[in-house]
Amino acid sequence: MYVPQLPGSVPILKNLYAMRTAPLATLSRGLRECGDVAYVEFPGHSGHMLFNPDHVRAVLVDNAKRVSKNTPGFAALRLLLGNGLVTSDGAFWLRQRRIAQPAFHRAKIYALGARMVELTERTADEWSRAAEGQTPVDVADSMMRLTLRIVSDTMLALDIDKDAAEVGRSISFLLHELNERIVRPYLPPLSWPIPRNQRFNAAREHLKTIIAKAIRDKRANPDSKGGDFLRMLIEARDEETGEGMDDQQLLDEVGTVFAAGHETTANLLAWTWAWLARFPAARRALQRELDEVLGDRLPTAEDYPKLPYTRMVLSESLRLSPPVWLISRRVEQPIDLGDGLVLPAQSMVFLSPYVTQRHPRYWTDPEGFDPERFTEARSAGRPTFAYFPFGGGPRKCIGDTFALVEATLVLATLARRFEPSLPVGGNPVPEPVITLRPKGGLPMVMRTRGQS
């Protein structure tokens, strides 16, 4: 089967230059010009970009054991996250997943809901003061600080408020540096004592110090208030072997939750505010639902299933602005996708939620913001993997329920009080680094509902 090459290939760097300078435009052009499959070539490795939902299922579900995370992207992530659930593979990953899974049970997440809302009310107070002074709010930064506060408090028993700004900047810097190591593979190794490496190592060690202290404190005082997630990880045992996690494994898993867990939810929420500002009809429908279900009270975790439109707003935001915009795997054994297309062993395979979730064959008006496309009636017949913001198969994100419950409670708490607006000409530009962020932040005016 002939497969056209992804557009934008140049000598020596091949597709790397286009993916480094304009990745979203390059991938979108790939679907338009190449169809569902594009050949891609980088210095040192090659493979395929797959945009068809059936191909996505074939890689993530049907042939999950034939692919690995032995890719340049995950190698870069391991520099920050170690060998945690996001980056590990094989038998080690399966053992860690079995140990960690009970901590993400829906009932345990619901038990954290009241604290999530309480912490969100602090952000609401900050927005109220900004609204009174008609001061713009950087919503991207605000959501990053809030989700960092929530994950630190509810899962790790850390009071991060005094360090939140510094920790947020550190994580942002680290993620940008990791992205540079993916798209600029010839950067000097971190062991070289150059200024950018020294800054990276210092930021990474600062985060590890915070996390290691949380682990030590919880080990010493397992019954202390908060940090139920951390206590469960410390006490968890593999059902088959009876073994728990050693300190390094705990550091990697907790670091993954701490650094990656809040980052993706913050970006989801930031993009959601931007979409609601651009599509006021959706914002009004959201607020009608909140008024009907909540009235004058704050939301609770038990309201999560009672807020279908709120959840559809988040689903549509995830469709258009998925925090994880590109997924990579290495093919360890050949995969036959049918119609003469075989993914050869040791090749790379790339899947893009950002592009597939805009595929015109499966989504009408793919660039429009329409939460009701996620109603049961309109979803009928749509392939499952036309939408996969959390991945899929056995490696589907373990924290998807936590993220969705958290995002729903945060959005409900804030949207019942505030109406967002973007400055003139202020439509945000996506910045695809490790996650999909609004480039340069997201300044918005938050008006108290009813304020003229």
Q: Where are the domains of the chain?
A: 44-448
CA 161 to chain centroid, in Å, comes to 22
Report whether 430 contacts 262 (CB < 8 A): no
3-state DSSP assignment of residue 78: helix
* pLDDT of the residue at 422: 94
pLDDT along the chain (452 residues), means of 10: 94 94 98 98 96 98 97 94 93 88 88 95 96 93 94 82 77 90 89 94 92 88 80 81 84 87 94 97 98 97 98 98 98 96 98 98 98 97 97 95 97 97 89 94 92 56
* pLDDT of the residue at 424: 82
Please tell me what DSSP assigns to residue 423: P
Instruction: Round to whole Å and give the CA distance between 172 and 209.
Output: 17
Exposed/middle/buried for 201, CB within 10 Å: 0-12, 13-18, 19+?
A: middle
User: How are beta strands 67-68 and 418-421 bridged, if at all?
Assistant: unpaired
* pLDDT of the residue at 451: 61
Instruction: Round to whole Å and give the CA distance between 5 and 20.
Output: 17
Report whether 423 contacts 437 (CB < 8 A): no
CATH number (3.30.70.20, 3.40.50.620, 1.10.3730.10, 1.10.630.10) of 44-448 reads: 1.10.630.10
| Torsions phi, psi for 364 (to 5 deg) | -75, 145
Place of tokens 């010493």: 220
Q: What CA–CA distances, in Å, run from 100 to 157, 232, 235, 249, 395? A: 17, 8, 10, 11, 13
User: How are beta strands 45-50 and 348-351 bridged, if at all?
Assistant: parallel
Q: What angle do CA 308, 388, 123 make, to 5 degrees?
A: 55
